[in-house]
Amino acid sequence: MKKTLAALVVAVAMLSLTGSALAATAGQRNAVSSAQDYLDYQAFSKSGLIKQLKFEHFSGSDARYAVNHIHVNWNAQAVKSAKDYLDYQSFSRSGLIGQLEFEGFTHSQAAYGVSKAYH
């Protein structure tokens, strides 16, 4: 009985995941793909990535769907962005935090990124 119940729970969970993937519109799937592509070569904050997707003419709802359906560590993105800035320009710690916040990172993400990138 327990094995049957466990198998049923697993089957329902798998159908739920498959159903949600199938429920995504073409625009949502394309926005997810574009978001992943952008993150492959450039650091973005969550809000910055949404703005970029909207600039590429994805709807706001598709852009938000995309950033909520990709696996991304926003703290790691802040570190990458901070390092990128430091590669070509000098910043004080507070100035770099401010720049990252301007790019859409939260204060916590910006402070984390600067603490890991600034030496």
Note the pLDDT tens digit of each residue in 15-52.
Answer: 444 445 568 899 999 999 999 999 999 999 999 999 99
In the predicted structure, residue 118 carries a pLDDT above the cut 90:
no
- Identify the pLDDT of residue 6: 44
Domain shared by 64 and 93, yes or no: no
Domain shared by 56 and 86, yes or no: no
Domain shared by 66 and 88, yes or no: no
In a domain, 17, yes or no: no
Share of the chain above pLDDT 90, in %: 78
Give the chain's domain count: 2
In a domain, 6, yes or no: no
CATH of the domain at 27: 1.10.10
In a domain, 27, yes or no: yes
Tokens representing 91 are 């910043």
Amino acid of residue 21: A
- Identify the pLDDT of residue 3: 52
Residue-number span of the structural domain to which 103 is assigned: 74-119
Q: Provide the whole-model pTM.
A: 0.79
Name residues whose C-beta falls within 8 Å of residue 48's C-beta, 6 or more positions apart in sequence.
103, 104, 105
Q: CA dist 54 to 35, 40, 66, 71, Å? A: 11, 18, 11, 19
In a domain, 46, yes or no: yes
Which has the higher per-residue pLDDT, 7 or 95? 95
Name residues whose C-beta falls within 8 Å of residue 94's C-beta, 6 or more positions apart in sequence.
none
